[in-house]
Structure 1
Amino acid sequence: MIQTENNTEVIVKGTSTLKHWVFDKLIDYGVSEQVAQYLNMLILLVGLLIIIFIVDIVIRKVLIGAFTQFAKRSKTNFDDLLISNKVPRNIAHIIPLLIALEFVPDVFSDFGNFEIIIEKGLKVFAIILTLWIARSLLNTVRDFLKTLPRLKDKPIDSYIQVFMIFAWLAGIMSAIAIITNIPFLQFLTGLGAISAVIILVFKDTILGFVASIQVSINDMVRIGDWITFEKYGADGDVIEITLATVKVQNWDKTITTIPTYALISDSFKNWRGMMTAGGRRIKRALNIKQDSIKCLTTSDIEKLKKIQLIKPYLEDKQKDVEAYNVENTIDKELLLNGRNLTNIGVFRKYVQTYIENHSAINKDMTIMVRQLAPTAQGLPIEIYAFSSDKRWVNYEYIMADIFDHVLAAVPYFDLEIFEYPSNLSLKA
Structure 2
Amino acid sequence: MEELNTPIADWLSGLGWSPVQIEWTTRTLLLAGVVLLSWLAAKLFRCLIAPALQRLSQRTKAMWDNYLFNDRMMRSMARLIPPIIWYMLLGAVLYDMPVALDLARKVCLIYLIVAVLMLLSAFLDTLHEISTQHESLRNRPLKGIYQMIKLLAFCVGAILIVSILIGRDATTILAGLGASAAVLMLIFRDSILGLVAGVQLSANDMLRPGDWITMQKYGADGFVTEVTLTTVKIQNFDKTITTIPPYALVSDSFQNWRGMREAGGRRIKRSLFIDASTVRFCTADELESLRRKGLLETEPATDGQPVVNLSVFRNYIRRCMKRNPGIHPDLMQMVRMLQPTSEGLPLEVYCFTRTTEWTAYEALQSEIFDHLLAVLPEFGLRLYQRPSGEDLRALREKMEINH
Q: If the TM-score is normalised by the length of the shorter chain, which range does it land in?
A: 0.7 to 0.9
What is the DSSP-based 3-state SS (H/G/I as helix, E as strand, rest coil) of the residue aligned with 2:136?
coil
Partner of 1:172: 158
Matched to 2:276, the amino acid is: Q
Contact 2:163 2:170 in 1 (8 A): yes
Partner of 2:65: 79
Q: Determine whether 1:362 maps to 2:328.
A: yes
Partner of 2:140: 154
Q: Determine whether 1:198 maps to 2:155.
A: no
- What is the distance in 1 between the residues matched to 2:6 and 2:193? 61
Partner of 1:223: 209
Matched to 2:120, the amino acid is: A
- What is the distance in 2 between the residues matched to 1:37 and 1:421? 107
Q: Determine whether 1:189 maps to 2:178.
A: no
Please list every run of 5 or more consecutive structure 2 residues that lacks an aligned counterpart in the other structure: 395-403
Q: Which moved more, 1:59-68 or 1:171-180?
A: 59-68
Q: Determine whether 1:70 maps to 2:56.
A: yes
What is the DSSP-based 3-state SS (H/G/I as helix, E as strand, rest coil) of the residue aligned with 2:226?
strand
- What is the distance in 1 between the residues matched to 2:393 and 2:25? 102
Q: Where do 1:10-409 residues align within 5 Å?
A: 12-17=1-6, 28-29=16-17, 33=20, 48-84=34-70, 86-105=72-91, 113-313=99-299, 316-317=301-302, 320-321=304-305, 340-409=306-375
- What is the distance in 1 between the residues matched to 2:61 and 2:38? 35
Contact 1:142 1:160 in 2 (8 A): yes
- What is the distance in 1 between the residues matched to 2:191 and 2:43? 38
Matched to 2:122, the amino acid is: S
Deviation at 1:411, TM superposition (A): 1.6
Deviation at 1:182, TM superposition (A): 0.8
Contact 1:63 1:88 in 2 (8 A): no
Deviation at 1:186, TM superposition (A): 1.8
- What is the distance in 2 between the residues matched to 1:394 and 1:85? 44
Q: Deviations over 1:261-316 (max 9, x none)?
A: 111111111122222225221111122233333343444333333342424125x5
CA RMSD in angstroms, aligned pairs only: 3.1
- What is the distance in 2 between the residues matched to 1:45 and 1:100? 9
Q: Determine whether 1:417 maps to 2:383.
A: yes
Please list every run of 5 or more consecutive structure 1 residues that lacks an aligned counterpart in the other structure: 1-11, 322-339
- What is the distance in 1 between the residues matched to 2:98 and 2:14? 21
- What is the distance in 2 between the residues matched to 1:225 and 1:71? 34
What is the DSSP-based 3-state SS (H/G/I as helix, E as strand, rest coil) of the residue aligned with 1:155?
coil
Partner of 2:398: none
What is the DSSP-based 3-state SS (H/G/I as helix, E as strand, rest coil) of the residue aligned with 2:234?
strand
- What is the distance in 2 between the residues matched to 1:21 and 1:373? 111
Q: Percent identity over the alignment? A: 35
Partner of 1:335: none
